[in-house]
Amino acid sequence: MEGGWPPVWRFLLYLTVSLLLQGKGNTFTINCSRFDQHGVDPAVFQAVFDRKAFRPFINYSIPTHVNISFTLSAILAVDAQLQLLTSFLWINLMWDNPFIRWNPEECVNINKLTVSAENLWLPDIFIVESMDVDRAPPELAAYVTSEGRIKYNRPLRVTSICNLDIFYFPFDQQNCTFTFTSFLYTVDSMLLGMDKEVWEITDTSRNIIQTQGEWELVGINKATPKMMVGSSVYDQIVFYVAIRRRPRLYVINLLVPSGFLVAIDALSFYLPAESENRAPFKITLLLGYNVFLLMMNDLLPANGTPLISVYFALCLSLMVLSLLETIFITYLLHLATTQPPPMPQWLHFLLLHCTSPRKCCPTAPQKGNKGLGLTPAHLPGLKEPVELVQKVPGPQEAELNDCPGSTRGQQEDEAQKQHLVSLWVQFSHMMDTLLFRLYLLFMATSIITVIVLWNT
């Protein structure tokens, strides 16, 4: 070009070359002549402030090492329906700026300064799982040492995605992740490292965590995988944060009242089967349990089917089954007092097997109560067999009493009828016993499950 470059382009070229060539010798050493007891003149760092738009490096092939750590100071909320974790973090970043150097002995023994973060180059570190805008307060400051090391701390409220598994609610433990990576710089320009060990981060977070609410911190682990985006490779650090729910609130408000209602329903089997108060009592308990579930519904997760919902469903099913059994027994005993139906052979065999478990092959029932060894039931309006079956009169007594119909066959029919009544009463007692044992087994299993889940 005959006329050469315009003066403006010459000036820009000169400025760019002068900025890039200041890394030789002591060119980057800051002049401490203006460091005095009255403060530091910002003009001393003006050359550094002018480079804040560029990554600080002397050799482009050497990536900038950024060390990361954080402190979990609060677990604010866990939304199981939206699968979100809201927490409060103190993020700590540390890196070296080769353009900042000074001799503390020549600078009135100043080893560290605070500089406004907006005047420095900051690494674009972000959390991949974050679903909210950066709410860090503006105008934060960073510590700058005489060796050019910059420490930048900032508080951050993070709303992040977390894969929540609520099956073991309220004894659940959740594992959430915080993935720190750069948005712009690949591994050729930026490498991530640890400012602290993982155990130090865990202990510090446990010591200063401020919320004593529903969740507690269990532990923190880390991994350092690479992230591939097309042909670009980004460095990242993944922190696995394990938190556990405090179950005491839910045990006191959900499991204990439910257990009491089920236990009272089980004790109702001690009421006589022929009592007219058992069915109303069970109906009252069933209505009370439904009201309890409606009142405590807000404490349960809005989505999914946790184990505690299965427990409540089983409790409700047992109470309904117990009420149906009571209604059936009441009807059966009422029918037995009027016109007892014959007992099916399979049911008779089952009754023999349950009442005589030592017998492998029970014999056929005999007349009377000899086959089962049963005692007569004390039902309303039902007399004892002794009262129903009188002494068999002889022929002469029958003629004297003028009762030709009072024969031995009629008396045997009465005895057989009384025997059927005793069988049905025994069957009702057997059903009560089996259902009562089922209640005991369910309550024992529930208590053992709660103890095991609470201690794991």
pLDDT tens for 348-358 read 666 666 655 44
| Percent above pLDDT 70 for the chain | 70
> With 80 as the cut, is the pLDDT of residue 246 above it?
yes
Q: How confident is the model at residue 363 (pLDDT cuts 50, 70, 90)?
A: very low
Structure confidence by residue, pLDDT tens digits, 301-319: 878 789 999 999 999 999 9
- Which residues are CB-neighbours of 367 under 8 A, at least 6 positions away? 412, 415, 416, 419
Q: Rounded to an integer, what distance in angstroms lies between the CA atom of residue 308 and that of residue 314?
A: 10
* Between 341 and 199, the higher pLDDT residue: 199
Stretch (H or E) spanning 10 = helix 7-20
- Which residues are CB-neighbours of 358 under 8 A, at least 6 positions away? none
The average pLDDT across 226-242 equals 91
**Burial of 1 per CB tally in 10 Å (0-12, 13-18, 19+):** exposed
Of 99-108, 258-267, 387-396, give the range with the top mean pLDDT: 258-267
Structure confidence by residue, pLDDT tens digits, 50-104: 778 888 888 888 899 999 999 998 898 898 888 999 999 999 999 998 888 888 8
Stretch (H or E) spanning 206 = helix 198-208
Q: Rounded to an integer, what distance in angstroms lies between the CA atom of residue 242 and that of residue 301?
A: 19
> With 90 as the cut, is the pLDDT of residue 265 above it?
yes
The first and second tokens of residue 80, run together, are: 């199981």
> With 70 as the cut, is the pLDDT of residue 244 above it?
yes
Closest alpha carbon to 438 in 278, 305, 317, 352 = 317
**SS3 call for 99:** coil
* Between 83 and 385, the higher pLDDT residue: 83
Asked if 276 contacts 247 with a C-beta cutoff of 8 angstroms, the reply is no
> With 60 as the cut, is the pLDDT of residue 172 above it?
yes
* pTM as predicted: 0.71
> With 80 as the cut, is the pLDDT of residue 174 above it?
yes
